[in-house]
């Protein structure tokens, strides 16, 4: 075989030709490869994506038509007003519930020995987790697009313009990405995908329901309202309502409710910093 034919061989690709990269560039490159692997896996198992779409749509329809008209929002029980109030909470809940998928997926990789195979490759150790969380973020974004269409059909509208609406969705996606790092840590800490799914959801239900997502916090007992007002989930929902121009914006004097955009950014970045560090450290010990 001549040198020229070897150069043209399909084996002579970037995947087989080592390149000199800095640590950050190498980590980003490896993370994107892992993300692509997980996205291809979702494509080959479309039922995962389909069921991921059905659940939030069911939440919208059930909450909008079962509770609409029974909850007072800004002094009114108008069902249309409740639907506009509701959607920021549903959007945020949807992206945060991707945490359970992250937990189960990473736990499954651990039990199947995939982590051991990754360990044998010359790749960044944190890239396995970063790639997984990026793939989950892409899936959440696709789900969000479908959910926005459903929300528009049931009467939800934005009133502050497209740029602010996009900023609201950006904050929600950032919180969802932050929560996937909690899911990654859970997936590395349990022994089976089934346990990871349960552990990934059990703490999300009180977090999302003890918040301003579905009912105004003004009707809660004082101690519970304080918890709800300082809940990271509530800050992002409040920011969404402010940026969408939707009704039901809390009048609480708690700092996160008065400055919800900054509070949402702060909580999301803090969660990423803390749980990414813990998850990568856990992964290195598991793969070490």
pLDDT digits (tens, 9 = 90+) for 207-220: 999 999 988 888 88
> What 3-state DSSP class applies to 73?
strand
Banded pLDDT at 14 (limits 50, 70, 90): very low
Beta bridge partners of 76: 73
Mean pLDDT of 179-204: 86
Reported pTM: 0.84
More confident residue, 126 or 279: 279
Alpha helices in the chain (DSSP H): 3-8, 23-44, 46-62, 79-96, 98-111, 114-119, 127-154, 162-189, 193-202, 204-209, 222-229, 232-244, 255-258, 260-287
Q: Angle 197-144-76 (CA atoms, 0-180°, nearest 5)?
A: 100
13 compared with 73, residue with greater pLDDT: 73
Query: Is residue 182 within 8 Å of 275, Cβ to Cβ?
Result: yes
CA geometry: angle 204, 73, 253, nearest 5 deg: 70
Torsion of CA 82, 180, 23, 125, to 10 degrees: -170
Please tell me whether residue 76 adopts helix, strand or coil conformation.
strand
The per-residue pLDDT for 240 is 96
């Amino acid at each position: 075989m001549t040198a020229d034919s070897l150069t043209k061989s399909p084996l002579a690709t970037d995947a087989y030709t080592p390149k000199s990269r800095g640590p950050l560039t190498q980590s980003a490159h490896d993370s994107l490869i892992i993300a692509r692997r997980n996205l291809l896996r979702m494509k080959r198992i479309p039922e995962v994506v389909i069921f991921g779409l059905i659940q939030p749509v069911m939440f919208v329809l059930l909450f909008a038509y079962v509770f609409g008209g029974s909850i007072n929002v800004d002094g009114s029980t108008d069902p249309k007003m409740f639907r506009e109030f509701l959607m920021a909470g549903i959007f945020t809940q949807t992206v945060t519930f991707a945490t359970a998928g992250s937990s189960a997926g990473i736990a499954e990789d651990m039990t199947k020995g995939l982590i051991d195979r990754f360990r044998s490759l010359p790749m960044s150790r944190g890239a396995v987790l970063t790639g997984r969380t990026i793939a989950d973020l892409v899936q959440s974004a696709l789900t969000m697009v479908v959910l926005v269409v459903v929300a528009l059909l049931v009467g939800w509208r934005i009133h502050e313009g497209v740029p602010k609406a996009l900023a609201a969705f950006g904050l929600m996606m950032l919180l969802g990405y932050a929560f996937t790092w909690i899911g990654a840590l859970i997936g590395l800490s349990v022994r089976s995908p089934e346990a990871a799914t349960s552990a990934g959801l059990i703490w999300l239900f009180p977090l999302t329901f003890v918040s301003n997502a579905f009912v105004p916090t003004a009707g809660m007992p004082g101690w519970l309202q304080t918890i709800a007002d300082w809940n990271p989930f509530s800050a992002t929902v409040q920011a969404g309502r402010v940026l969408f121009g939707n009704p039901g914006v809390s009048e609480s004097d708690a700092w996160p409710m008065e400055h919800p955009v900054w509070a949402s950014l702060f909580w999301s970045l803090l969660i990423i910093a803390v749980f990414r560090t813990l998850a990568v450290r856990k992964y290195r010990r598991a793969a070490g």
